[in-house]
Structure 1
């Protein structure tokens, strides 16, 4: 919990406590009122750390949410349709997108359109839709084959009630397991894109940009690179571990409940 709490707190609350810009010092210096030293243009590294996490976290969360927002209806529609041609129409274009490496897609689009932070979130969401939709479809296909779904259809229940009310609810565990891995991958893509200068200004207060722009002074003033790099690693690892722990807790609670029910019978 602590491994993700520290970078998440810095990302969300850091800008509220960031000091003013102040006068710039010499590049890659230590001390002088800057307890983490200065960066490649003489700015206070601690201030940049406090300001640089929010863009990474908000972009990653927005991209993950948008990916599921598109993938869920696509996967459910493909799993519940009785028309093979419709399933092919929905899934085959996604397979084509899945064949292209995500980072390559982002770099190609960035070379043409020069996206900003909002466009980067949309682009990262887009490259995550095919894989997420395939996972939703696979899990929903299994749930759709249950007798309860056929009973709901025979009772004349609407597609929405069947897809969301029953099949969608049965995907909770699968999506929870996928969400941790998905968010980790999205954080990797967002950080890598920012490291390569996609979607952010070259001197932006961003953890990934800090790693890129300050790496020339790594052996002179390492904190400007080490601190943001460790925060990114802790955030990605912590997010995955947090989702895994929550899933294990839910599994344990479900098994305990089943044992209690079995003992009563």
Structure 2
């Protein structure tokens, strides 16, 4: 319940905010809370509340897309590596990921961004790529334990398809581990997306984006704190709320299993 409330506010603002934000106001120089500006104006005179309404969608959609893309690649790689009996295939799948895992995520994003100028789609792809190695290793570790069970060997002897074994049995048995990882991973992805936007990667310098708002208005924090505090709190609520939500779902699932006869 608490996680839903915490994450609900930034999600509603991010997804529905642009529908009610209206057309951007012309730039002014007033930092007053009056004159229709609930949270004042930013460093170039744009309405802060309007920027908040516009600025959440890029962060949320990019983070969700990057997380989904990472799992879309990592889950098949991890399952294939855990279920294969061919050592060379496992090495071929996992060793390149280990090399990629050794490079700091933000450093890799900055290196690629220094050569290319990724937009929102490019940023989502970059963040997904740097999350694939770690996610694939977690999937493989969880699936390897399940793949060693006699039930999987029995399925092989019965001639079951790889799809039936990997998805129908091993994949379902690793869902709890994936759910636990998803909360932490989404938090990490949000951090990377926000940090990249803070550094100007994937977004325009004057874009309506929560992370960009924090970066561009931080020099005037003492004069106009709302332009920094509000978007920063919304990003924190997203990360904290996602963890609380996934933890609550896992606890509920565990309680239901314990109550079964």
Q: TM-score range by the shorter chain?
A: over 0.9
Deviation at 1:28, TM superposition (A): 4.0
Q: Deviations over 1:128-184 (max 9, x none)?
A: 000000000000000101111111100101111111111111111010000000000
Contact 1:30 1:221 in 2 (8 A): no
> In 2, are the aligned partners of 1:79 and 1:138 still within 8 Å (CA)?
yes
Which of the numbers 62, 69, 72 marks the counterpart of 2:72? 69
1:171-250 equivalence runs, <5 A = 171-250=174-253
Structure 2 distance, partners of 1:22, 1:185, is 34
2:19 to 7, 16, 32: 16
Kept after mapping to 2: 8 A contact 1:28/1:217: no
Q: List runs of 5+ in structure 2 lacking aligned partners.
A: none
Kindly report the root-mean-square deviation, in angstroms, between the aligned alpha carbons of the 2 structures.
0.9
Q: Which TM-score applies when normalising by structure 1? A: 0.95
Structure 1 position 33, deviation (Å): 1.8
Q: Distance in 1 between matches of 2:214 and 2:38?
A: 18
How far apart in 2 are the matches of 1:36 and 1:20?
A: 17
SS in 1 for 2:23: coil
What is the TM-score of this pair, normalised by structure 2? 0.97
Tell me the residue number matched to 2:148. Answer: 145
CA contact (8 A) 1:11 1:52 kept: yes
| 1:80 counterpart = 2:79 | no
What is the CA-CA distance between 1:29 and the residue it aligns to? Answer: 4.2
Give ranges in structure 1 of 5+ residues lacking alignment.
Answer: none
Cα separation, 2, equivalents of 1:27 and 1:90 = 57
1:166 to 152, 162, 169: 169
Cross-structure match for 1:256: 259
SS in 2 for 1:250: helix
How many pairs are equivalent?
258
